Structure 1
Amino acid sequence: MLNLMSDFLDEDADLQFINDQQAAIKLNRELQKNLLFFKHFNNDIHSKINAYSAQRYCVFSTKNQQLNIVEIASGRVLYSQNPEAEIKDEVASFCQTAPIVSLTSSLQPQSHSAVSENAVILSFGIGLGLHLLPLIKQVRPSVLVIYEADMDLFITSLHTTDWAMIFETAVALNTQISLQLGNSGATITADLQELQQLLPNLDKCYLYRHLAHPVSDEIFNYLIAFSGQPEKLLRQRPQFLGYVDDHVYISERFSGILANQQYKDAPKTALFEKNLVALKQYYPILYHVFVDYIPKDWRVVDIQGQFNLWCDTRKGLFYDDVTEQSAHMVERFLHSPLDNQVILNQGGLEKMSNYVHFKAVKKLQPVFKNLKPRVFDENTDVDNLIVLGVGLGLHIDILLSKREVKNLFVFEPNLDFFYASLFVTDWATLFTKIAESKQRIYFNIGGSGEEYFQDIMGQYYQTGAYGIAKSQIFPAFLTPGMRNALEKLYSQLKIIVAMGETFDHVRFSLAHTFHSMKSGHYFLKQQRQKLGMENLQDIPIFIVGNGPSLDESYTYIKEHRENIIVVSCGTALRSLYRLGITPDYHAEIEQNRATFNWISQVEDPQWLKKIALLSVNGIHPDTAGLFKAVYLAYKDGESSTNFFRSYLEQQGIHISALSHAYPTVSNFSVDFFTSLGFKHLYLFGIDLGYLSVEQHHSKHSAYYHNDGAGVMDADKIFNAGIQIKGNFRDCVQTKAEFDFSRSILEMTIANLNKNTAIYNCSDGAYIQGAMPLRPQNILVSIEQSASLKNFEELFTSCFYSAELQFHTAVFADLMQHSGLSGVVDEMLMLLVDVDNYQDAKKLIDTQWQTFIEAYYSDNKLGFYLLCGSVIYMLSVMTRILPVSNEPLEQLEELKVFNNVLEIWREYLLQANLDFTNAPFKHCAVDVSFLFNKESSISENTKG
């Protein structure tokens, strides 16, 4: 379960401060005493202590002035509110009934018994260490072997436990202690042999598990499984890899940790059968999954009339008390829910200052500057709730009895858990209630976490995508995998509004795509099976980004140049030019004219004409004109894509769309070549991170002047303070956009077939699914490169060109008669100033419903033009509203809300005027000023 540190601290900060100060004195005194003891008792341990610094865990004082342990990164606490009482009960239970491993042959070895004096005890885990002294005193073992796999958890004990007293008591009671630090127990067979040599008559050992650990638990199970089989226990050398599957994750401390009790399966109840019937009616896909389901790792057990979950693999219970803990989870959420702090402010104010959208964003700056943190209370509306983790599901039942949730998203990766919830949670009544109301419930059961964001967005577009700005997240419990999914989901929801399409983006994408079709640019065919591409797919593709590691790895691109295809990404083009490498293809994804300015830093037009351009529909005509040929694909999900595709597919023309071609050009390049079936992709300079904010890109790129000075204020742009795992090193720095790019790359790679290999040769961020490969270790065979001479001809055959020119007259007519004016007029009629919360909320809802109707009318192009802008502005309105149903006239938000309405009116009027007067106008962004030595900017202008 999720015991968070916030539950253990005093709400009065002053009282907690006093607790901390008093505890600090005690902790430091105990530490110094233990350091002195180990210095004289065991210098080897003393040296280990001095050489080690705690990384994951630390000791803190609770509001009850009890010492406890917290995992620093997650805030997860190991023990209960009263660790001393908890440990006292644990030792007593162990003494009465302990697991036994028999070291002699026996057909039916004893599995549990009370612990006898002079026993040999194998103890796993130290933690606070408070169990050791009472264990020695009560049992008086002859030998106590203490395994602690994690040095952090031994270091914590130095602050809480009197180790001198432990060893002195052991000596007095004739107990030998073997302290195995950094040892999970993997030496167990050798240790048992040594124990038998020490004690020739030793026939059994008692097992005491104080803390769970992935490897120690596997060893614990091995001992139990092969009890009575000395040939396994004493003469084999098994390899223990540990339990790494997220579905069997269990925290360090849990109910039943001693594994000294047996639990019976719970019988199927009337509620279980009722729930199955409800699933069949409302969620038939789930019904077919669970009607004959057999749990794999967790089963429902009945303990004195209360249900719980028992993991056979890890031998532990999921709950201490399901009713009490579920109620506590709900109260914690209602008191302090995880708010989705959506980012509304957007970069690009300087670069795209003439865009209609960014003129509005500039006017909104005072609003963003004065936004206050949202305060949630018992009156808070819950429009969109994302629940991570079902377990037995009782927390969902309790929550919905206390709050009405408009849209509920339930994510549970473990099928065993949702199956178990059918025994406890009254889903049937909930489904019936939802069916009779305007509420919605969406399930993702068994998913990996990668698709949570897409699932939520798919539902939001039905219920109002602006709801992102008023979403709350309820993490019921978190395995490592779920924690990663939460962080990724939280990050994606946070930035999706800021990164969404805007009116100007759609407008220029339409005009630029129209120009591409009219100019005979190539568009990728969806069906390519008979076009010979399979002959090319073994050719290695070197995708080159502009990360700082390019400066060290470019020589290896030169080494293999004649046998590969080189693709430059964005600003890497100038770096490659200066390094003497001519790429076969250059990739861009931005549609505004800034790409022309960046590429023009290569002052060699003839060199550029040797290169073909790769991009998505919407590339700027001036940029396209710099290259010898232009190859395009649709960018899936873009409004301009939907507009052109809906007509062309009726004519039998199916252009391929890329689903993961964002947010950076490296994402596009990987998506483009893997969609074409290429099997060997090598990533150079796709760092998505950096060691220093001063060197955020290659020194050969246009990000730096000739004297090495940056064209941007690196501290403001790149110093985000985000650290992530490195590809060739422990960690690198990054910023949110780069980290988002990394997560999308991982999603792309996860969906590839097993024949595709992605090699990450960049000294930057680790990309899951891409094999880290030092550039010097690359091997390219002659067979792979055999088809290079036919590459361009076969490649071009996979694209449409002349076929599209025939339809440009139709598109010209559709764009000139867009229906945008009708959509704008209908929305403007509803933009009336408000004077209370309910009217403001209703205005937002009616704006969305009116706008959605345009999609089903003759004004579909009007819908496409405004979709992103509507989501953005309604998100702003939603964010500035109070979270509770309060009278707006008593709040400053009233004035702010109506000011935003006025900005939105001006936005709609200007957008309609601009597009109606010039539907084919190209983007006129000009960032040539950046490359003057005197210029530097403080916002990102290029990915």
Structure 2
Amino acid sequence: MTDRIDITNELDQMSEKLESTLKHQEREAVFAHEANERFEKNLACFREYYPNIASAIDNYQTKDDFCLHVTESGHGNFIPRGKEALLYSQNPISQTKKQLSEQIARPVYSLTDYTGYPENDEDVRIHSRYMVKLTRFMKKVRECGEPKVNALPESFPSAVIFGIGLGYHVPLLLEHTQFDYTFLIEPDFEQFFASLFCTDWFDVIETVDSQGGCLFFHLGVDHKSFINDLEKIAEDIGAFSLVRSFCYQHTPGYELNVLIKKWTEDFFRFQYGHGFYNDAVTGLAHSIHHIRNKAALLTNKSKKLDHDTPIFIVGNGPSLDEAEAFLQKNQNKGIVVAAGTAIASLYKKGITTDFHVLVERPYSNYEIFGNIFPADEYKKVNLLGLNTLYPDTNKRYKWAGIAGKGNEAGTCLLDVLSQIHTAQVLPLIPYCNPVVANAALSFFLHMGFRNIYLFGVDNGKQPSGFHHSKDSIYKANNDDDDSKGYGCLEFDGRMIDGNLGGHVISNDLFLVAHVQLEKLLNLFKVSSCINVGNGAKLQGAIPTDAENLMDLEIPLDKDSTINSIKQGFFNVLPIDDVEDNYIAVDRLDEICEHILSIAEETSSTRIDCAHQLQRQARYIYSLKGSSLEHLFHIIKGALLYYHCPMITLLYQYESEEFCIEQYHQLNELWKSYITEIMDDYKIHYDEKCDLGKVS
């Protein structure tokens, strides 16, 4: 009897297994059919909307064991490269819905505090006055003590989604919330490739497009390329696309964790540094004066130079002192390029400057440089500057050459004039800000020189060291009222890896400068740049202790090399002034009036208000690449500095009624700002900067 029961049980179990296997085979067959159809529809959609991604899909070679596993619920599952476990449970949709529900209920948001701008009533420039008004308004809003928005609303400005996985969460999230800007980040392209069989991306893409939204895929990225991609997007469509974001991690993984850490560390880059009206109109005015002064503009690329010529780019960091003996002994064997105030330190050390690089537009900087270096010595030096530079500066030097700085109103105008009068597009030297050393390196890499030495380009200081060279114009201690010299920007505890080990202490400004230097070296594929001393380590440069530098032996005909640089790269435009029609005062009036007309429309919901801002921004950004691009830059900074807090405010507090009420009040300030720009431009478009000038 026992044997018969056991046999019966075994037969029942075998029958169940067979039935289960047959059902699984049926699920696999159904999934295979649906998945292949889905893949083809997805690929066709990517070919229409994202041709570069479609090309990557076409060319992608899967690994030999690439496999999509069919779950009990009939959905695809996947084991990522280098992992042993499947991404999902046997019911991926149920699992994803649970995760999404938790994320929506307890969301993580990016948020910028707009109450920290300096309240300087002494600075009467338009932008400064309106930033003071903005700061005080945002403080008043904060003091109301309204509850912050908690659960994710049905509309929100942006979503930054880390991990595509098989994509199940994306359509579910977009069903719940409509975003203006959605960023999808996936370091593993293979996972995205697998998602093409599992998720109806064609439906996602077409839905976002029909809503007027923007969907960005960041595939196969590491943390550096991801941040670079975001910077490019912020430049192309505006930083307001990122400042108020729902941040969601879908899949686990080391690469994603690094990306998220980098995103939080570098988020400050998208909050500030937008440029602003007074800077833009001053840069335009200075560019006009450079034309009137017959300044030589960077227009050509010479092929006659010896690009192995040693170029000594000298900043004013403390490591300059470490290399003093080398520079004194070898100054006649290379071209000495002083960045900013380093010219005074070099003079004290008995080292002759061949080229002095300057970028700043304020009159106060012009005045300072007049005080720190003898007038007769300036006449022995050549100037390299950006077109934003205070234009009277040129007259101090033996010769002056000016290059266009990107993202500037004046540069756009110069480029139009260059194309009209010389049939040449004006070359722009890349990554030439935020400090003078960036411009110096950019100049000489653009010219083709590759034998570059960096001295005193530290972007920070040793934990127990000085912030500048001992011969600099700066005080050793800002708090010492009795010591001579100028106060300097404090280093506030931000850290960068040290060039020779350890770390240096920095701040946000020099962190950006450091990143820009690394971008330059990467862009020009430089492998021979020597970074000397105990400053910050630069990816792409060779770290070198000053004591290990070998004296140069090959003599240099400096006069001939310097003349070749000046004659080979620079030309004067064949005009004496800029005609009024290129200044386009009347067109700026039209643009401002159109912005005001949109801003004055009735808006009674968050979505109405958000779309009101979006329409203004897209109108302004449509000017990019046109003959009126200089007017885009005149307005862009003001727009970003006001639209970013306005979009943040709309989605900062739980009460929609409160947010809209505050938005309307802030909108009045914004309209007033635009009106002042319209009135000011026609008067001051060619007025030199007077910041720091005593009346």
1:215-267 Cα offsets, whole Å, 9 max, x none, are xxxxxxxxxxxxxxxxxxxxxxxxxxxxxxxxxxxxxxxxxxxxxxxxx9x99
1:903 alignment partner in structure 2: 669
1:636 alignment partner in structure 2: 406
When residues 861 and 771 of structure 1 are mapped into structure 2, their CA distance, relative to the original with a 3 A threshold, is closer
Number of residue pairs aligned between Structure 1 and Structure 2: 651
Aligned-residue sequence identity (percent) comes to 22
Moved more, 452-461 or 850-859: 850-859
Q: Is 1:293 aligned to 2:60, yes or no?
A: yes
Give, in angstroms, the shift of residue 666 of structure 1.
1.8
Give, in angstroms, the shift of residue 897 of structure 1.
3.3
1:674 to 436, 445, 457: 445
Give, in angstroms, the shift of residue 337 of structure 1.
4.2
**3-state SS of the aligned residue for 1:538?**
coil
1:607 to 377, 380, 387: 377
1:137-182 Cα offsets, whole Å, 9 max, x none, are xxxxxxxxxxxxxxxxxxxxxxxxxxxxxxxxxxxxxxxxxxxxxx
**3-state SS of the aligned residue for 2:316?**
coil
Q: Is 1:555 aligned to 2:325, yes or no?
A: yes
1:275 to 31, 39, 49: 39
When residues 391 and 879 of structure 1 are mapped into structure 2, their CA distance, relative to the original with a 3 A threshold, is same
Higher helix share: 2
Give, in angstroms, the shift of residue 925 of structure 1.
1.3
Give, in angstroms, the shift of residue 449 of structure 1.
4.3
Structure having the higher Rg: 1
**3-state SS of the aligned residue for 2:496?**
strand
When residues 719 and 587 of structure 1 are mapped into structure 2, their CA distance, relative to the original with a 3 A threshold, is closer
Moved more, 769-778 or 846-855: 846-855
Q: Distance in 1 between matches of 2:347 and 2:371?
A: 10
1:822 alignment partner in structure 2: 590
**3-state SS of the aligned residue for 1:405?**
strand
Matches within 5 A, 1:33-432: 270-281=34-45, 282=48, 283-291=50-58, 293-296=60-63, 299-302=66-69, 307-310=76-79, 314=82, 316-317=84-85, 319=87, 321=89, 323=92, 326-327=96-97, 330-331=100-101, 333-342=103-112, 344=114, 353-369=123-139, 372=142, 375-379=149-153, 381-432=155-206
Give, in angstroms, the shift of residue 512 of structure 1.
0.8
**3-state SS of the aligned residue for 1:441?**
strand
Q: Is 1:685 aligned to 2:459, yes or no?
A: no
2:535 alignment partner in structure 1: 764
2:215 alignment partner in structure 1: 441
Give, in angstroms, the shift of residue 511 of structure 1.
1.2
Give, in angstroms, the shift of residue 797 of structure 1.
1.9
RMSD (Å), alpha carbons? 3.6
Q: Distance in 2 between matches of 1:481 and 1:771?
A: 27
Moved more, 769-778 or 385-394: 385-394
2:682 alignment partner in structure 1: 916
1:665 alignment partner in structure 2: 436
Contact 2:309 2:449 in 1 (8 A): yes
2:644 alignment partner in structure 1: 875
1:52-72 Cα offsets, whole Å, 9 max, x none, are xxxxxxxxxxxxxxxxxxxxx
Q: Is 1:572 aligned to 2:339, yes or no?
A: no
Give, in angstroms, the shift of residue 723 of structure 1.
2.5
Contact 1:380 1:885 in 2 (8 A): no
Contact 1:275 1:428 in 2 (8 A): no
Give, in angstroms, the shift of residue 759 of structure 1.
1.9
When residues 899 and 378 of structure 1 are mapped into structure 2, their CA distance, relative to the original with a 3 A threshold, is closer
Give, in angstroms, the shift of residue 613 of structure 1.
1.6
2:363 to 583, 593, 596: 593
Q: Indicate the structure whose relative CO is greater, using CA pairs within 8 Å and at least 6 residues apart.
A: 2
If the length of structure 2 is used for normalisation, what is the TM-score?
0.83
When residues 640 and 402 of structure 1 are mapped into structure 2, their CA distance, relative to the original with a 3 A threshold, is same
Give, in angstroms, the shift of residue 358 of structure 1.
0.8
1:99-121 Cα offsets, whole Å, 9 max, x none, are xxxxxxxxxxxxxxxxxxxxxxx
Contact 2:493 2:505 in 1 (8 A): yes
1:695 alignment partner in structure 2: 466
1:12 alignment partner in structure 2: none
When residues 649 and 491 of structure 1 are mapped into structure 2, their CA distance, relative to the original with a 3 A threshold, is farther
1:938 alignment partner in structure 2: none
What letter is aligned with 1:334?
A: I
Give, in angstroms, the shift of residue 357 of structure 1.
0.6
1:753 to 525, 528, 537: 525
Q: Is 1:469 aligned to 2:234, yes or no?
A: no
When residues 895 and 386 of structure 1 are mapped into structure 2, their CA distance, relative to the original with a 3 A threshold, is closer
2:506 alignment partner in structure 1: 734
Contact 1:516 1:621 in 2 (8 A): yes
Q: Distance in 1 between matches of 2:537 and 2:98?
A: 38
Give, in angstroms, the shift of residue 589 of structure 1.
2.0
1:685-724 Cα offsets, whole Å, 9 max, x none, are 221122348832233222217988486777xx53533223
When residues 436 and 511 of structure 1 are mapped into structure 2, their CA distance, relative to the original with a 3 A threshold, is closer
When residues 629 and 438 of structure 1 are mapped into structure 2, their CA distance, relative to the original with a 3 A threshold, is same
Give, in angstroms, the shift of residue 570 of structure 1.
1.9
What letter is aligned with 1:287?
A: A
Unaligned runs of 5+ in 2: 1-27
When residues 286 and 518 of structure 1 are mapped into structure 2, their CA distance, relative to the original with a 3 A threshold, is same
Q: Distance in 1 between matches of 2:396 and 2:115?
A: 33
Contact 1:820 1:912 in 2 (8 A): yes
Q: Is 1:495 aligned to 2:269, yes or no?
A: yes
Give, in angstroms, the shift of residue 274 of structure 1.
1.8
Q: Distance in 2 between matches of 1:904 and 1:602?
A: 41
**3-state SS of the aligned residue for 2:282?**
helix
1:653 alignment partner in structure 2: 424
What letter is aligned with 2:287?
A: T
1:586-607 Cα offsets, whole Å, 9 max, x none, are 2122222232133234141112
Contact 1:517 1:801 in 2 (8 A): no
When residues 894 and 665 of structure 1 are mapped into structure 2, their CA distance, relative to the original with a 3 A threshold, is same
Q: Distance in 2 between matches of 1:710 and 1:351?
A: 28
Q: Distance in 2 between matches of 1:683 and 1:475?
A: 41
When residues 564 and 649 of structure 1 are mapped into structure 2, their CA distance, relative to the original with a 3 A threshold, is same
Give, in angstroms, the shift of residue 658 of structure 1.
1.9
Give, in angstroms, the shift of residue 485 of structure 1.
4.7
Q: Distance in 1 between matches of 2:679 and 2:235?
A: 27
Unaligned runs of 5+ in 1: 1-263, 930-943
**3-state SS of the aligned residue for 1:723?**
strand
Contact 1:689 1:733 in 2 (8 A): yes
If the length of structure 1 is used for normalisation, what is the TM-score?
0.62
When residues 649 and 438 of structure 1 are mapped into structure 2, their CA distance, relative to the original with a 3 A threshold, is same
Q: Is 1:722 aligned to 2:531, yes or no?
A: no
1:507 alignment partner in structure 2: 281
2:549 to 778, 788, 792: 778
Moved more, 639-648 or 562-571: 639-648
**3-state SS of the aligned residue for 2:452?**
strand
Contact 2:467 2:476 in 1 (8 A): no
Q: Distance in 1 between matches of 2:556 and 2:236?
A: 50
What letter is aligned with 1:649?
A: Q
1:865 alignment partner in structure 2: 634
What letter is aligned with 1:443?
A: F
What letter is aligned with 1:523?
A: L
